[in-house]
Amino acid sequence: RFEGITMAPPDPILGVSEAFKADTNELKLNLGVGAYRTEELQPYVLNVVKKAENLMLERGDNKEYLPIEGLAAFNKATAELLFGAGHPVIKEQKVATIQGLSGTGSLRLAAALIERYFPGAKVLISAPTWGNHKNIFNDAKVPWSEYRYYDPKTIGLDFNGMIQDIKEAPEGSFILLHGCAHNPTGIDPTPEQWVKIADVIQEKNHIPFFDVAYQGFASGSLDEDAASVRLFAERGMEFFVAQSYSKNLGLYAERIGAINVVCSSADAAIRVKSQLKRIARPMYSNPPVHGARIVANVVGDATMFGEWKAEMEMMAGRIKTVRQKLYDSLVSKDKSGKDWSFILKQIGMFSFTGLNKAQSDNMTNKWHVYMTKDGRISLAGLSMAKCEYLADAIIDSYHN
């Protein structure tokens, strides 16, 4: 009976927000979850989202069920944003796209497809990676192992280790790659390194599996942040891409994203899509419409599309500014001679500080700075006004 059910541990990321709420100290700072905040540390709804929502109200859009695969206009827009509208994989209809429950739900659909059609195949994930990846593959009963990624000595990419581990994986493995702004490290391969990664994946007949949660949010440019994915598409490879609009359109709670499967023929894409629908139907029947309409409206209107890009640049810009200010504060306050330049080399909404678990605990217990225990801080939750305080906390935690 239910009496026999044991207590589950708190989620390592979302649990941080719960602990933050319970803290009554006024200096407290929540750098745990990756959600964009304004300089006043308030949540932000994009103006272009409000505009699209007003339009939807005026039009009197109804709440009928969507088809299992989601809103057609959204699916078209999302694949075009990813690959570029005129891309051969789109023109030749080689991409099976279905709307998913944001990035997480889309990853979960792909995991279910792997479990059904590639029994025994392993997924290789980076060490470290976003914590939920392991949960997703565990729950889908897909075996996984790690490839080397982060080098603590350089606080940079262990490129040789990464290449070697991908080479040594059993042929036909799935290689999970962060399209841009690697979470949690903020360290991405260079364009030249991406070419080498594609080479070894092709050599070993592996299947790339991209997780794109930050398109446009890392650099401020949708195209630039999709360059890694497009490199693989150009080579005619078959692969997965999960997408999320949580960050770049600030639609966190709307749960809007997609899974794209690039196939080698239009015919295969039709069959793959039919199987994705078959997986989705008993899980959640069909996806929610609201976020899908927002995306389709914004992308489908030249003015709103332009406004979105400007707001995305503004958000990415604010994060870059606090990153610089945090770096400057650390350099001016720290007398130990430590090289803090890794902070400026990282990209996206996170910084991987290199703080270990005990040091991260000091950040929270002594300084009321809430962060994940792997040393990751979300710069999207930081204001210019709090940079000096955060620098004091980091220096104290490093040296104690």
Residues forming the active site: 130, 211, 247
Count of residues that interact with ligand PMP, criterion CB under 6 A = 13
Q: Closer CB to ligand PMP, residue 102 or residue 372?
A: 102
Q: Tell which one of 75, 99, 104, 383 touches ligand PMP (CB under 6 A).
A: 104
Q: Does 178 bind ligand PMP (CB under 6 A)?
A: yes
Q: Does 246 bind ligand PMP (CB under 6 A)?
A: yes
Helix, strand, or coil here: 124?
A: strand
Shortest Å distance, C-beta 359 to ligand PMP: 23
C-beta separation of 36 from 49 below 8 A? no
How far apart are alpha carbons 336 and 231 in whole angstroms? 42
* Residue ranges in 148-167 that form contacts with ligand PMP under rule CB under 6 A: none
What contacts 385, CB < 8 A, 6 or more positions away? 39
Q: Does 130 bind ligand PMP (CB under 6 A)?
A: yes
Cα dihedral sign for 69, 70, 72, 74?
negative
DSSP of 26-44: TT-EE-SS---B-TTS-B-
Cα dihedral sign for 56, 62, 67, 72?
negative
Q: Tell which one of 69, 158, 188, 211 touches ligand PMP (CB under 6 A).
A: 211
Q: Closer CB to ligand PMP, residue 246 or residue 397?
A: 246
* Residue 73 to residues 68, 250, 290, 395, Cα–Cα distance (Å): 14, 20, 13, 50
Shortest Å distance, C-beta 104 to ligand PMP: 3
Segment interacting with ligand PMP (CB under 6 A) among 39-47, 97-105, 140-148, 336-344: 97-105
Q: Closer CB to ligand PMP, residue 188 or residue 211?
A: 211
Radius of gyration of the chain (CA): 21
Q: Tell which one of 99, 102, 173, 329 touches ligand PMP (CB under 6 A).
A: 102
Shortest Å distance, C-beta 108 to ligand PMP: 9
Q: Tell which one of 103, 216, 287, 375 touches ligand PMP (CB under 6 A).
A: 103
- Helical residues (DSSP H) of the chain, grouped into ranges: 14-22, 47-59, 72-83, 88-91, 102-117, 132-139, 159-168, 191-203, 222-225, 227-234, 266-284, 290-300, 302-333, 342-345, 357-367, 387-398
Q: Is 125 exposed, middle or buried (0-12, 13-18, 19+ CB in 10 A)?
A: buried
* Residue ranges in 14-53 that form contacts with ligand PMP under rule CB under 6 A: 34
Q: Tell which one of 52, 180, 213, 322 touches ligand PMP (CB under 6 A).
A: 213
Q: In what order do the strands lie in the sheet with 123-127?
A: 95-101, 256-262, 239-244, 207-212, 174-178, 123-127, 144-148
Shortest Å distance, C-beta 245 to ligand PMP: 7
C-beta separation of 300 from 77 below 8 A? yes
Shortest Å distance, C-beta 213 to ligand PMP: 4
Segment interacting with ligand PMP (CB under 6 A) among 86-94, 101-109, 202-210, 378-386: 101-109
Q: Closer CB to ligand PMP, residue 106 or residue 397?
A: 106
Shortest Å distance, C-beta 244 to ligand PMP: 3
Q: Tell which one of 257, 287, 291, 381 touches ligand PMP (CB under 6 A).
A: 257
Beta bridge partners of 148: 127
Q: Which amino acid is at 60?
A: G
Shortest Å distance, C-beta 249 to ligand PMP: 11
Minimal CB distance residue for ligand PMP: 103
Q: Does 287 bind ligand PMP (CB under 6 A)?
A: no
Residues forming contacts to ligand PMP in the complex (CB under 6 A) are: 34, 102-104, 130, 178, 183, 211, 213, 244, 246, 252, 257
